[in-house]
Chains A and B, each alone.
Chain A
Amino acid sequence: MNRHFPLMPGSRREFLRRAACGFGSVALEGLLAAENLQVRTPHHKARAKRVIFLFMQGGPSQIDLFEYKPELEKRNGQPLTFKLPKNYEAPGIRDSRIFGPMGKFVRRGQRGMLLSEMLPHIGGVVDDLCFLHGMHADSEAHAPAIRQLHTGQSIQVRPSMGAWTLYGLGTENQNLPGFVTICPVLGGDSGSPQLFGSAFLPAIYQGTPIGKAGEAKNARIDYLSDESVTTAEQRKQLDFLADVNRRHIERSGVEAELEGRAAAFELAFRMQMEAPKVLDLSTESAATLALYGIGEKETDDFGRQCLMARRMAEAGVRFVQASDTSWDHHAKLRQTLPVRCKAVDKPIAGLITDLKQRGLLDDTLVLWGGEFGRTPFDQDLTQGKAPMSERGREHNPRGFTMFMAGGGVKPGIAHGETDEFGWEAVQGKVHINDLHATMLHLLGIDHERLTYRYTGRDFRLTDVAGRVVREILA
């Protein structure tokens, strides 16, 4: 296994030979982190150049937001008419009844697509969206389901889809990380650094976290500055370090890796200069800030994330993830779901609108969704004590909704559907592996050919599965 670089053995050999020609010939364009992140030619013509993934951790309810099921409304409160799987086990569902959708659905957009009135702003951009109502995944629990959504695999540790993307395509701005995740959840059931990790792929492909969940206002890259020195002093220290390293290389012989590490300090220094600028939203107009809901209490956090995502997309970052949490509505759905909707509705619509008006939506794939959806029956964790109005829904990976926008997908359509109760996907089924295959396809990558050999096996984001959902390609 090649420990350092994902290059062909031939090119590594060639490089090492070139390195022998003398110091300096490779110093900056060399076989450093940068070279491996350089832009690569895709397998076929790409429709999307970059991805913005808006992750809704917890499992948003497709039943209350996206897929209107009259049957549920009709049978609200009645016993279940469909059978649960034999070994189905979940807390607080023993006496579950059909749980009708909350709130009203309204017709939006040119084709009059039905959408919950809890998402008024998204309703305004519905003609740009491509809904996937037939999503399904394999796991009932958060941690494995989230892992599957991010890496394709629910049990083992695998590279994140952002890492695969970077491995496949490189990145356009060498002064910024190529894969950024804004405000990720780092612990608990709902998050882990592995979700933006590179697993067995070289670590240069791993995501760089910016800030923590719920703290978009203070989002920054770790270790980006040393408060105890001025920039000039640090520059002087780095110049001294560069001199020490140069003398060491002269003495010990030229080696790409030594030069790479020396040069990485320069790269880090440039990142130290450039990253804060990208993250600084103060240069944006008041109108733009308002478009994203920045400055309004409910929408400020996710609005900032979305705007940072747009700024990074503009700056050439290949894969950006923004995250919203707490979509896990086991109880008090009627009280808590509107809060979440409010928090993301305007920012998401703002992002779509802003990308569009800047001409970025054409080659930016926006992907929205959680790790699974929710059940059409109620859940009561208080053992029958909660009134219907305070109940929630259990996780449901059998059928749920995600949506895409831009980047070569058909706008203004809905693909697939669940059964009449919203329990299980029946038409236009899209598994997480299919979603990944489609995403890679739009980026110009054949998911079966994007492989990495590890422990003697060629691994893929889609493992041995995955089908490009051609029906939604524009």
Chain B
Amino acid sequence: MRLIAVLLFVSSGLASAQSDVQFFEKKIRPVLAAQCWSCHSTKAKVSFANLLLDSKAGLAKGSDGGGVVVAGQPEASRLYAALLYKGSTKMPPTGMLSAAVIEDFRSWISAGAVWPEEATVAVAASGAKKANLDHWAWKPVNKPKVPTVKDGQWARDEIDRFVLARLEAKGLSPVADATAELWLRRVSLDLTGLPPTVAEQDEFLRERSYEKTVDRLLASPGFGQRWGRHWLDQTYYADNIEIGRRVPARHAWRYRDYVIDSINRDVPYPRFILEQLAGDQLPWTKPEERRNNLVATGFLALGPWPLVNADKVQLQMDVVDLQVDMVGRSFLGLTMGCSRCHDHKFDPITLADYYGMAGILASTKTLTGRLYLTVFSNVNSVVLPELPEELAKRAEETREYWSRLTAAREELTALRAKRKPLEKDSEAAKAADKEIAKANQAVKLLEYLPVLPPTAHAVQDGDMPADCRVNVRGNAHQLGTEMPRSGVVIGGIDGKLDIADFTSGRKELAEWIGRKENPLTARVMVNRVWHHLFGAGIAPSIDNLGTRGTAPSHPELLDYLAAEFVDGGWSLKKLVRRIALSRVYQLSGESLAAGMELDPENRLLWRMSRRRLEAETIRDAMLVASGTMQPGVGGPAIPFEVPGNVNLAEPEFLNEEAKLDPATRLRRSVYLPVLRKSQLPELDILNLFNFPDANQITGPRQATTIPTQSLYLMNAPFVQEQAAALAESLLAMSTTDEGRIRTLARRVYGREIRDGEGERWLAFVRSFSAADAWKRLCHALLISNEFLYRG
């Protein structure tokens, strides 16, 4: 390389003819500027292969791979070869230049690659970690000292001292505590996503034991159902594969159940990470354990993969990109996606970090085989181990299945035989054809749904784990430097991984993420928990703690909780319990003039912020209030059995208007199908109230207010149905109207009726002559703010 540089200087050092310079300025520099500088200049957002073509020095220095121009010898110049689109490097990647322009370059190089002298441009070293190295989030977590506060009475927990200290410094005081009723509704909704039943209200008001209540909620299945859904928000989980058509992801529900179960078992967080990233590589003794671990990798296997892309190489890297983004944002609060094409502009994330992680995921098999003739890939699946008794059960089911299928086929044959003698186009023939079509559908559906061994969408290591090369501008066919597989070099810890031979490195990556020295993992998790309990994280941008995120309001509290979380064995339940029992969590939502003036957004936590219930929580709360929620947990989500739901074309897909199974349609929302694109018509409430898009990683949920939501609340059959059920159950009570009104207040708002309220409600009921007057009242209350918000 040095030799080439010298040659170049020698040549240009000669008194080059003025015409050569003119040629360069007229024919070469404009092309470099237009075609090359976006990737190869000091001003480029990206600097590929360390090649800079905006200065003489840059050209002389060449790329990572050495010199690119040999003055006088176009045939020996890599730059020229790249322009010719011969060999592995083809430039510019957007398309070959015209023959005339390429000829200009040949002439220019032949004439000595003249570049006039100019002020030196510093050649910036790419890959250097220059962006914002002293950002708070990358620093090690050191447990801060608990601050002293003036008011020694108020604080109940160290958490409260951190909050109070900031308030006192600002001259603010916290508002009064919430009423017991309000606290109970709040903590029930926050911990389980369900409002308290009348019996639960009675019990709490009798005993007034806050601790017992929190422990009850933590131990209830509702905890995992709600916090599992929080987790699913930060994954790409859905029950279908979207290829334009909604092809069922038949086994996706296992991952959903795994998440809920793990949270209910309070699996320590690093273990939870390890299972999801590398469950297939973990040792196991019992089949259940193995099954659990394999299902966990559904985290990586399920996603909005563009399976229709025939370009498998590009497809794989597009999948890897989505996975890197998910791992970055979910576990580390980092936005790594930018670095697919260039070093992150604001955070110290480089191409090396991105491709370090991408190499691990590219060494992993997420896709395999074909889904269908023209869909050239499918999601990888693995068969799960079974217990002997499960095997026996499945054998029994298989026998039943075959007898059902045989019967269905025989029926079809019989119907066809009966059809044969009928006159063409006669009424009888038409009726028979209809029956045949129905029977045929039944057979096809059975054939589509054989009894299979338990299977999961899961990842495995690929056949040839290897480091991966930079994809120029994200193009998987334009390869740059190879980057060793690694974690992210950030803050005090390096990303080096000691990857076992012939493995992808997922296990090592997971262990690296779960190290207690990793400054991000615990911070990100604690911050998320705070977000779910207070409506905003200590740092509100919960999936981006980078420099473009929002700074934490209480950095010491965040670090304190992070340290405690790690010291306490990374237990989610312990963390939630502690925060839920704090004084600050107990505050009312009262608005005080001083607070509104100094801190209207309540970042200092002088009160509890009100928040609209999430889409699924509105639905679930309505079902609890009306008493219609169907029991049952877990299991497959897609309603295959409902006639007309599955289109048996190939590949078989779920119809857009598919209906829920009547036996389960009023279950808790988390057990109903989650689809990519939009949810089923019967679950339109989810579409309207900002249920997350399964194709994206969701941080804070949106909580918009739009008139179409109001139209839904006013007119949708689902809301009407719940109002009617609630009214019916009130009318079935053997009590007075006043008694009914009291119960209604407790079921809808979780509190006693207030003075004057009962009279107004009854007056409304009595102003309607129609039989559905009570339904009108229930309807109005179910769509009122007090119900739709958690105070």
Q: Give the interface of A toward B (CB within 8 A).
A: 1, 3-4, 12-13, 16-17, 19-20, 32-33, 87, 89, 91, 140-144, 155-157, 177, 186-190, 192-194, 197, 199-200, 202-204, 206, 208, 221-226, 228-229, 233-234, 236-238, 240-241, 243-245, 248-249, 252-255, 257-258, 260-262, 264-265, 267-269, 271-272, 453, 455-457
Contacts and interface: CB of A to CB of B under 8 A. Distances in A.
A13 B783 contact: no
29 contacts: A16-B596, A16-B600, A33-B705, A87-B310, A141-B309, A142-B244, A157-B693, A157-B695, A157-B696, A177-B707, A192-B678, A193-B677, A194-B677, A199-B696, A200-B696, A204-B706, A222-B711, A222-B712, A225-B715, A229-B776, A238-B714, A244-B780, A249-B785, A252-B610, A253-B589, A255-B610, A269-B714, A456-B548, A457-B548
Contact of A261 (B304, B374, B785): B785
A233 B714 CA distance: 12
Interface in B610-664: 610, 612, 655-656
Given A243-B760, A456-B346, A3 B716 contact: no
Interface stretch (B213-221, B253-261, B536-544): B536-544
A453 B693 CA distance: 18
B142 interface: no
A20 B318 contact: no
B705 A264 contact: yes
Contacts of A155: 306, 318
Given A4-B702, A186-B678, A190-B244, 5 more contacts: A12-B601, A143-B243, A186-B656, A229-B776, A244-B781
A268 B710 contact: yes
A3 B601 contact: no
Interface string B513-548: 000000000000000000000000000110110111
B478 to A, nearest CB: 14
A236 B767 contact: yes
Contact of B711 (A16, A32, A87, A221): A221
Contact of A253 (B591, B767, B779): B591
Given A140-B310, A192-B677, A223-B715, A202 B702 contact: yes
Contacts, number: 212
A17 B705 contact: no
Contact of A1 (B346, B589, B699, B791): B699
A203 B706 contact: yes
A91 B451 CA distance: 33
A268 B308 contact: no
A202 B704 contact: yes
Interface of B: 242-246, 304, 306, 308-311, 318, 329, 335, 337-338, 346-347, 373-374, 540-541, 543-544, 546-550, 589-591, 593, 596-597, 600-601, 610, 612, 655-656, 677-678, 684, 687, 690, 693, 695-696, 699-716, 720, 760, 764, 767-768, 770, 772, 776-777, 779-781, 783-786, 788-789, 791
B611 to A, nearest CB: 9
Contact of B703 (A4, A187, A223, A229): A4
Q: Which of A197, A221, A226 has the most CB of B within 10 A?
A: A226
Contacts of B549: 456
B785 A262 contact: yes
Given A249-B785, A268-B714, A33 B704 contact: yes
Select the residue from B549, B596, B716 with max chain A CB neighbours within 10 A: B596
A244 to B, nearest CB: 5
A446 B292 CA distance: 52
Contacts of B311: 87
A3 B536 CA distance: 10
B596 A226 contact: no
B136 to A, nearest CB: 15
A26 B627 CA distance: 37
B600 A13 contact: yes
| 6 smallest beta-carbon distances between A and B, as pairs | A456-B548, A253-B591, A189-B244, A187-B656, A16-B600, A268-B710
Given A20-B597, A194-B677, A226-B720, A455 B335 contact: yes
B707 A267 contact: yes
**Which of B304, B329, B786 is packed against the most chain A CB atoms within 10 Å?**
B786
Contacts of B776: 229, 233, 237
A268 B706 CA distance: 9
B712 A223 contact: yes
Contacts of A248: 784-786
B544 A456 contact: yes
B704 A253 contact: no
A176 B593 CA distance: 36
Contact of A91 (B374, B702, B791): B374
A222 B712 CA distance: 8
A32 B709 CA distance: 13
Select the residue from B243, B593, B710 with max chain A CB neighbours within 10 A: B710
Nearest to A227: B715
A373 to B, nearest CB: 19
A200 B329 CA distance: 16
B467 to A, nearest CB: 24
Nearest to A1: B541
A156 B374 CA distance: 21
A243 B760 CA distance: 10
B696 A253 contact: no
A177 B677 CA distance: 21
- Chain A CB count within 10 A is highest, among B711, B713, B770, for B711
B711 A224 contact: yes
B535 to A, nearest CB: 9
A78 B704 CA distance: 59
